[in-house]
Amino acid sequence: MRIQTIGATTLASLFVAAACGGTAAPSSAPGASAATTAAQSAAASQAAPAVIKIGAVLPLTGPFNASGKYFQQGYDLATKEVNDAGGLDVGGKKYQIKLSVLDDGSNGTKSRSLVEQLVTQDKVTALLGGYDTSLVEAQQAVPDQYKIPMVEGGGAASAIFTRGNKYLFGTLATVDVLGSNTMDFLKYWIDKGKLPKPLTIAVVWENTDHGKDYQGAVEKAAKDHPDYFKVVLDQSFELNGSDFTPLLTQVKAANADAFLSDAHLPDFITMHKQYLQLGLKHKFVSYGARGPDQKGREALGAGADYLVAGVWWTPAQPDKASQDFTAKWKKAYNVTPDWFQALSYETARVMYAGISKAGSLDGTKIRDALAGIDFTGSILPGGHIKFDPTGKPLTKYVFTQNLPGNKVNLVWPQGVEGYKDAIMPLPMGQ
């Protein structure tokens, strides 16, 4: 929220005008001296801080509302920190940031329309992206159309960065990388003798670009390493489902060693509840980036224990920056953050760093600054955020494994700070 103070002279004029039933116009009042007018102008200039308008469209209602609200909180916290520190330095001048967040109701058509509204009507300087790949894909043409830069941390499909956009940048390592990293992790445990060789796999994936990235990486690894992997079920499903029993019945019939699913948070919770109800057991189970989320663990209880996930950030990271962020988030919102909050926070911080680096409010100059940025001191794995020439993020994953008692271990890659060996095969699959 923007708070505007009013100089004493102007404030007095407003009260006099109100008493007379009129509107104050001190600069044009009869008999006003040039010195008085100049003083009033200076006071007004000091009273009204320079403002940068930043816009975002998020799913605050609809199927993705929980994650959308997390993103709003992350954007809010990063913005508050800048404003509380005196504002954003742009070319030696300090600006307060005014953040406008609109709700798209988890609807892609509405999402694009509202982003365009922020640009054409609200005249924002820059945009922070939405949450969910499908919504970010709906938004992604607007930045280039109007030459207004956008940084997004909620869309992870590699397709986002194959369409020639120059004003769009991402902070989420893409899902093809998640799939590839998952297969590397499995190969390691096969070599250790903890999983069978070849490992038979049932893979199910949401019918989106997000899901296709994951499925493609699994199939590529199976093709490249047929002695390690054999895919015995490869099946898609529709986003935001309510009954996955027919799909899971196919999974059960496949009699695979490993079950891999690429699903968003609501589908993960529904699917894994039904997985447990059907009494399914595998030597390895992963729902892509889902598993350690607090919402998921609250909904699934002990049923989420031992799941392995590849995530963009976790409060289990022991580095000081991550631990400081976790403490700060708990103080602000009285809850332990998940990767959603961390990515939105870092997305806003990268945008503000890009604007400051540009030293200008010109969209093209900000875009150029973001294209060449190396944002250090990030809480994301590796501590850096930068982009390739397509705007695709050069960020990394860490893998976690849920343990009883709501605990989480960092289990991949080897050498990551805080690393511990995974429990393999999963106790529930033995």
Please give the model's pTM, rounded to 2 decimal places: 0.86
Instruction: Report how far residue 84's alpha carbon sits from residue 93's, in angstroms, rounded to the nearest whole number.
Output: 15
> Nearest Cα to 101, choosing from 71, 64, 143, 138?
71
Encoding tokens for residue 192? 């250790």
DSSP-assigned letter for residue 257 = S
- Return the axis-axis angle of helices 34-47 and 8-20, rounded to nearest 10°: 100
Contacts (Cβ under 8 Å, ≥6 apart) of 260: 182, 201, 202, 203, 204, 214, 218, 285, 286, 288
The two domains 51-173+318-385 and 176-311+398-429 share their CATH topology (first three levels equal): yes
Task: Walk along the chain (430 residues) and give the pLDDT tens digit of each residue.
Answer: 333 333 333 323 322 233 333 333 334 444 445 555 555 555 544 556 799 999 999 999 999 999 999 999 999 999 999 999 999 999 999 999 999 999 999 999 999 999 999 999 999 999 999 999 999 999 999 999 999 999 999 999 999 999 999 999 999 999 999 999 999 999 999 999 999 999 999 999 999 999 999 999 999 999 999 999 999 999 999 999 999 999 999 999 999 999 999 999 999 999 999 999 999 999 999 999 999 999 999 999 999 999 999 999 999 999 999 999 999 999 999 999 999 999 999 999 999 999 999 999 999 999 999 999 999 999 999 999 999 999 999 999 999 999 999 999 999 999 899 999 999 999 975 5
At 344, the amino acid letter reads S
Instruction: Report how far residue 398's alpha carbon sits from residue 316's, in angstroms, rounded to the nearest whole number.
Output: 10
Instruction: Report how far residue 419's alpha carbon sits from residue 70's, in angstroms, rounded to the nearest whole number.
Output: 27
Sign of CA dihedral 286, 289, 293, 299: negative
DSSP-assigned letter for residue 363 = H
What are the domain boundaries of the chain?
8-47, 51-173+318-385, 176-311+398-429
51-173+318-385 domain in CATH 3.40.630.30? no
Instruction: Report how far residue 92's alpha carbon sits from residue 227's, in angstroms, rounded to the nearest whole number.
Output: 60
Separate counts of helices (H) and strands (E) for the chain: 14, 15
> How far is residue 390 from each of residues 158, 356, 375, measured CA to CA in Å?
10, 22, 17
Homologous superfamily in CATH for domain 176-311+398-429: Response regulator (3.40.50.2300)
Instruction: Report how far residue 307's alpha carbon sits from residue 285's, in angstroms, rounded to the nearest whole number.
Output: 6
Q: Residue 413, preceding bond cis, omega within 30 degrees?
A: yes
pLDDT at residue number 175: 97
Encoding tokens for residue 264? 């968003």
